[in-house]
Chain A
């Protein structure tokens, strides 16, 4: 343990933060001191105290409890969105890098196109036109963030395609699908994992931005972004409403970024020296 912390400090700290946040989110119903949507008009906008660690909001709900439940939303959005983008990215990248030629050209054009798109505009438009629900948010973020993975997988496949072990497998008559899945993909997993971890951080940020604009997870469900929006509206009188959820986002995203960077060093020690 100590050895691990010494040799991979980034991964250690990042992993620790991620583990803590995930644990808090999972155990929210048991840890939360209050019901997150319980309205209590007697305790509106109280500053942090022993009873309410992070204060209360405009409806007298406990901010700490809401943040615990908000963590579930933010992390779920991060995981599912990245899951979707991974599936799309892996498939497109694999097909593109493996088959080459015209298919490759078309897929790469498509990738360039989406990269040129101010994606936040697209996300905003789609969410506003559909209902801003948690599922729509996950899907749209996933659908607009697969380009990096596609490029990674494609590059990795291109460089592996003419290596001896691949040629040997080809000579033995291994099918294309099996070839990609069993021989090529495992070799590309390192960088993909890194970009997935960094992607979670990105998705958490995008979700909070959407919630901030009022297009994220809708009240009464809590998310860090929509607590912050309430904080913005009461900025002069209730600093705790904007302070704590912001800190939570910062720490979570920081954790995932550190973990990602740590994993990158781990898979590619050359960079570190």
Chain B
């Protein structure tokens, strides 16, 4: 895991610094008051005058003690502070989106597999294909027009209503939730489609396997075949898939947060990238990678927990 993280930082650091254009220069080219010496001074101040490998080692050195450096932007705050105030929004949206995916996709997959080729299965397959193909921001836009602007049912941007301060505790929670419904749904749609498709094919495969046929021949009732014997094995690949879908969710949060103007990590990343705030970009990349790796670790552990073959080693 650590070498993996190491590699990721090298790649992003290299790519970022090799790209033409420097943060101190951006926005200053046309400013007559900034002389060449000023730019040199600024570069020295931010450590950009040193060779690339030295900059990287410096950065890495500080990272070891969790010091992400200071942001290049005008406020010059610590990167870690900037990220930590933005991260809860992104985490909540993604966790809730993932829960939504699990809660909806698994039953859909099971039902389509059990009632294969029924009209229900066909409807769900159609839904899955559309869910796969729909650009999430477009869906978000349509929902904003439909539910937000025309119907006026849900708020379309931000986290809180303007009178948030005056609300009671429960009112605040309801307000927050109503602001999050659309973003969560939009983040979840792609995963929803993929996961239910996967669940369906997994379930179909298991239902055809020998031990299920045996169980059926031995007169085990159909219900307990489905939900006690088949389901457990069909669920296994889902765990891996959930782990693999984390990078997509985190990456997707840029678009979702931009669309709904949510103050999360994705939007922060977008702003950092646009203003070439190197320390901030690197910080968010590292945090994103750590989150992904953590997610994969959790997936691996729960895999071992769910599958006795892995828990007891291959020959156990």
Q: Is A235 an interface residue (CB 8 A)?
A: yes
- Report the Cα distance A239→B141, complex, angstroms: 10
How close is A63's CB to chain B, nearest CB, in angstroms?
15
**Max count, chain B CB within 10 A of own CB: residue among A110, A116, A231, A246:** A116
> Per a CB cutoff under 8 Å, which of A116, A129, A212 touches B292?
A116
How close is B110's CB to chain A, nearest CB, in angstroms?
18
Q: Is B251 an interface residue (CB 8 A)?
A: yes
- Known contacts: A121-B284, A213-B258. The answer to whether A246 contacts B130 by CB under 8 A is no
- Which residues of chain A are within 8 angstroms of B46 by Cβ–Cβ distance? none
Contact A129 B130 (CB under 8 A): no
- Known contacts: A119-B247, A125-B281, A213-B254. The answer to whether A201 contacts B133 by CB under 8 A is yes
- Which residues of chain B are within 8 angstroms of A213 by Cβ–Cβ distance? 254-255, 258, 270
- Known contacts: A116-B4, A116-B296, A235-B144. The answer to whether A228 contacts B138 by CB under 8 A is yes
- Report the Cα distance A110→B3, complex, angstroms: 11
- Known contacts: A121-B284, A129-B19, A208-B135. The answer to whether A116 contacts B251 by CB under 8 A is no
> Per a CB cutoff under 8 Å, which of A116, A125, A271 touches B8?
A116
Q: Is A126 an interface residue (CB 8 A)?
A: yes
Smallest CB gap from B275: residue in A:
A128
Contact code string A226-266 (vs B, CB < 8 Å = 1, else 0)? 00100110011001001000100111011001100000000
Contact code string B154-179 (vs A, CB < 8 Å = 1, else 0)? 00000000000000000000000000
Contact B137 A121 (CB under 8 A): no
Smallest CB gap from A242: residue in B:
B141
Interface residues on A, range: 35 or more
Q: Is A112 an interface residue (CB 8 A)?
A: yes
- Report the Cα distance A116→B3, complex, angstroms: 12
Q: Is B21 an interface residue (CB 8 A)?
A: yes
Contact B21 A254 (CB under 8 A): no
- Report the Cα distance A236→B133, complex, angstroms: 25
- Report the Cα distance A115→B8, complex, angstroms: 10
> Per a CB cutoff under 8 Å, which of A109, A117, A128, A212 touches B274?
A128
Contact A257 B250 (CB under 8 A): no
- Known contacts: A116-B8, A250-B135, A253-B132. The answer to whether A232 contacts B20 by CB under 8 A is no
Contact A124 B289 (CB under 8 A): no
- Which residues of chain B are within 8 angstroms of A110 by Cβ–Cβ distance? 7
Q: Is B64 an interface residue (CB 8 A)?
A: no
Contact code string B235-274 (vs A, CB < 8 Å = 1, else 0)? 0000000001001101110110011000000000110011
Q: Is the interface of A mostly helix, strand, loop or mixed?
A: helix
Smallest CB gap from A112: residue in B:
B4
- Report the Cα distance A159→B284, complex, angstroms: 40
Contact B134 A121 (CB under 8 A): no
- Which residues of chain A are within 8 angstroms of B3 by Cβ–Cβ distance? 109
Q: Is the interface of B mostly helix, strand, loop or mixed?
A: helix
Contact A258 B273 (CB under 8 A): no
Q: Is B99 an interface residue (CB 8 A)?
A: no
> Per a CB cutoff under 8 Å, which of A118, A212, A231, A257 touches B133?
A257
- Report the Cα distance A262→B284, complex, angstroms: 39
- Which residues of chain B are within 8 angstroms of A109 by Cβ–Cβ distance? 3-4, 7
How close is A224's CB to chain B, nearest CB, in angstroms?
9
Smallest CB gap from A229: residue in B:
B137
> Per a CB cutoff under 8 Å, which of B7, B141, B296 touches A232?
B141
Q: Is A1 an interface residue (CB 8 A)?
A: no
**Max count, chain A CB within 10 A of own CB: residue among B130, B132, B133, B145:** B133
Contact A118 B137 (CB under 8 A): no
- Report the Cα distance A201→B194, complex, angstroms: 14
Contact A125 B15 (CB under 8 A): yes
Contact B251 A120 (CB under 8 A): yes
- Report the Cα distance A212→B129, complex, angstroms: 22
Q: Is B288 an interface residue (CB 8 A)?
A: yes
Contact B284 A250 (CB under 8 A): no
> Per a CB cutoff under 8 Å, which of A212, A251, A258 touches B255?
A212
Q: Is A27 an interface residue (CB 8 A)?
A: no
- Which residues of chain B are within 8 angstroms of A232 by Cβ–Cβ distance? 137, 141, 259
Q: Which 6 A-B pairs have the closest CB atoms?
A: A120-B251, A129-B19, A246-B138, A253-B133, A254-B133, A118-B251
B residues touching A (Cβ–Cβ < 8 Å)?
3-4, 7-8, 11-12, 15-16, 19-21, 129-130, 132-138, 141-142, 144-145, 149, 201, 244, 247-248, 250-252, 254-255, 258-259, 269-270, 273-274, 276, 281, 284-285, 288-289, 292-293, 296
Given contacts A113-B8, A116-B8, 16 further A-B contacts (CB under 8 A): A117-B8, A117-B11, A117-B292, A118-B289, A122-B11, A122-B15, A124-B270, A129-B15, A129-B19, A129-B21, A209-B255, A228-B138, A232-B141, A249-B133, A249-B138, A253-B132
What are 19 inter-chain pairs, A to B, with CB distance below 8 A? A110-B7, A112-B4, A116-B289, A118-B251, A120-B252, A121-B284, A122-B15, A213-B254, A213-B258, A231-B141, A235-B141, A235-B144, A242-B141, A242-B145, A246-B141, A249-B138, A251-B133, A257-B133, A271-B201
